[in-house]
Amino acid sequence: MPSSSVNELFATVDDAVPSVGRSLVTPIRGVAFWTAVALPFLYLPLLATGLQSSAVRTAFGALLLANAVSLLVGHSYARD
């Protein structure tokens, strides 16, 4: 294989990597965005029953953490 063919192959791979990355990042951001939208609805039953047991407090804390992470990941979803 001549060196120009190798260079063209590497250029093609370099061009393909960002598009593959974009095609993976967009759905992940979308799922994170909609997760951040939906998670607060799960707070309501926990708050309605009270945060008296340690299991409920742990679940509430885990939901808060999951919501914060999904907000960070999905904050730029569908921006033009």
Please answer whether residues 24 and 11 qualify as being in contact, where contact means their C-beta atoms are separated by less than 8 angstroms: no
**Higher per-residue pLDDT: 9 or 47:** 47
pTM of the model: 0.69
User: 7 pLDDT band (50/70/90 cuts)?
Assistant: low
Specify the pLDDT at position 64: 96
**pLDDT tens, position by position, 12-50:** 645 665 666 667 888 888 999 999 999 999 999 999 999
Specify the pLDDT at position 80: 46
